[in-house]
Structure 1
Amino acid sequence: MTVALGVACGVVQAGQVTVYSALESDEIATYLDAAKHALPDLDIHVLRLSSGDLAARLLAESAQPRNDAIWGMAVTDLLDPRIAPLLTPVHGEHIDAMPARFRGADGTWFAPTGYLAALCVNREALAERGLPMPRTWRDLASPRYRGQVAMPDPASSGTGYMVLSSLTDAGRDARGMALVTAIARNVGQVTLSGSAPCKLARIGEFPIGISFAFSAMQSIRQGYPITMVIPADGAGYELEGSALMKGAAHAADARRFLDWTASPQAAALYRGFKEIVAAPGSVPSAEQQRQGLPADVVATLPARDFASAARERAALIDRYKRSTR
């Protein structure tokens, strides 16, 4: 579903910017409420699309882009060989102050936020089946969990591809590939979205759902008997990147807006929605830590080659599908 959100920031409209975003609508509304105070002379138009629809729109409009900027799109999608050439380097006071690991070496993207793979484990369903609490990805490969796991399809879900590409180093790690294939043998249901496995675990249809941390923490907050497990043998994660379009009609205003999204003010808001916040010194809230998010979550993230993950997507998904038939 495509939702268009527009916010007129101030009475005197000295500038304007059109932004495409894959962030959730409630996030966008919260962030833009703060942006209108920080940039009162800027008229910000945001078109919210799902990740797949956003990529398709960028490709359809590639000959003549209609947006000035991209806000909160998976870096693996941003670096798609067909999309990356549409971007141009962007700099700003706050963007340039971000840690290097959250910025593209060529300056064409930066990522103030990200999300982390996690297991949603229903304690009651697990106990009913006499199964131990899984703590690692390797645990999930055990035959004892046969048919007890729900997992998103890497071909349709960004979360699913995040897990596949992270654990296999974009397909280059043979042991990682064998591990993912072994886990797939235990999957009782493949879902289209990354949040669906957690929702299935909430109601006990499956005791274990491979999902992402925010979905697990949301389930805990809503009172479901869910334990969030961040597998100890490898952090699967994705960064949410932002970028300036090459030849943007409102490039100067787009830079102002993008730099605000990398500001400390924006970072303070991200913590209400995100597991990974790039701003130096940002740590999970006390509630998030009680729910199982590590206090040093950013420091423990392994390096990822997002360009390879983007480049190898089709081949890796095909290889995975063939290995799990």
Structure 2
Amino acid sequence: MKKIAIGGLLLSLLMSLFLSACGKESPGTLTVYAGLYEDHAIKAMETFQKQTGIKVNYVRMSNGEILSRIRAERNSPKASIWFGGPADTFIQAKTEGLLEPYVSKNVEAIPQEYRDSEGYWTGIYVGSIAFVSNKTWLQEVGLQAPQSWEDLLKPEYRGMISMADPRSSGTAYTTLATLVQLFGEDKAFDYLRQLHQQNVIYTTSGSVPGRTVGMGEVGTAVMFSHDALKFYKEGFQNLIIGFPTEGTGYEIGAVGIIKGGPHQEEARQFVDWALTKQAQELGKQVGNYQQLTNRDAVAPEEAIPLEKLNVIPYDLDWAGQNRERLINKWTTEVLGVGKGKD
């Protein structure tokens, strides 16, 4: 009888442990919302997990989609880390109380211009807005690659331009904020309305236009130069990358901790890791070509330094604080949504 009792007790304990494990996430498992390319995100998650022993789940989304998800979950956050995507969206999240401040022990390796002074976000890479054109298409229509923002208004470009939608894409919002800072708000929105009349093809993701240009489905895209370099290296060697003579803007891709997310200690370890030279250099191993923010990190040879471009003095704080207003204005005044137009 004793043996049966002991065996029954052991079985009961084992079943209890099994059912408990099935009912909840393993302790210490981080959930990350990633704005990076899928291959870059996978490499980062695998390496972080291997080096720290902390298990990681991730979901890949565009930056605007990540912000919307964090807003929806603010009372019960599912993720702890926001990894990648333009920092102006992080700034909006900061103003809405959605991020947790953390000044990493590794922050001194990152120049001040690439990080939030209070630690709400820290830059991990930098990339510039570019014109990306299909060389074959340009030859067929007798055009040179666009040299200026005004070039995109030429009749030959009608129906052959693609860019992302700023409501979902950080790339597209960087473009919108660039034009407003470059030309002033009134002139920029007048330009955007004219550009819309060119039958622009809008996409959810900022990188998708590069692939459609490479396949010859459209002639020119407005997108980040490092995304275009990725497509070029993957075989779309009919791509031509150029930059507007009037000036262009750029992103600071960032990492931050989601307020109230589970496993905050592991989240801080992730930020510490993401700022290191070794972590930042992972992207080039899987074909990503951004400039890096860690002073000691070696960027890919193909990466285009901002110093070689005519970049505007992009006001990141202003862009973040005005993001919601400018996107709403673009939606109503350019798309005509909310004005009785389709």
- For the criterion TM > 0.5, the same-fold answer is yes
Q: TM-score by structure 1 length?
A: 0.80
Q: Deviations over 1:151-195 (max 9, x none)?
A: 323334332222111221299544444444444443443333323
Contact 2:145 2:240 in 1 (8 A): no
Q: Aligned partners of 2:88 and 2:144: how far apart in 1?
A: 34
Which residue does 1:320 correspond to in 2?
330
Structure possessing the higher radius of gyration over alpha carbons: 2
Shift of 1:294: 4.3
Identical-residue share of aligned pairs (%) = 26
User: What SS does structure 2 have at the residue aligned with 1:317?
Assistant: helix
- Asked if 1:285 corresponds to 2:285, the answer is no
Q: 2:45 matched to which residue of 1?
A: 32
**Could you give the per-residue CA deviations for residues 83-111 of structure 1, whole angstroms, max 9, x where no partner exists?**
74122221222223211111112221112
Partner of 1:102: 114
Match of residue 139 from structure 1? 151
Q: Distance in 1 between the 2:164 and 2:81 partners? A: 29
Q: What secondary structure is seen at the aligned counterpart in 1 of 2:147? A: coil
Distance 2:310 2:295 in 1: 14
Paired residue for 1:243, among 256, 268, 271? 256
SS in 2 for 1:214: helix
Where is the strand percentage greater, Structure 1 or Structure 2?
1
TM-score using structure 2 length = 0.76
Gaps of at least 5 residues in structure 2 are 1-25, 337-342
Secondary structure of 2:130's aligned partner: strand
Structure 1 residues 281 and 143, CA gap change in structure 2 (3 angstroms): farther
Contact 1:152 1:190 in 2 (8 A): yes
Q: 1:270 aligns with which of 283, 288, 311?
A: 283
Question: Does the CA-based 8 Å contact 1:117-1:163 persist in structure 2?
Answer: yes
Q: How many residues align?
A: 307
The answer to whether the 8 Å contact 1:112/1:267 transfers is: yes
SS at match of 2:209: helix
1:29 counterpart letter in structure 2: I
Distance 1:26 1:175, change over 3 A: same
Q: 1:295 to 1:113 in 2, by over 3 A?
A: closer
Map of 2:274 onto structure 1: 261
Q: What aligned pairs does 1:203-214 form with structure 2 within 5 A after superposition?
A: 203-214=215-226
Larger relative helix fraction:
2
- Asked if the contact 1:20/1:71 (under 8 Å) is kept, the reply is yes
SS of the residue corresponding to residue 210 of structure 1 reads strand
CA RMSD of aligned residues (A): 3.1
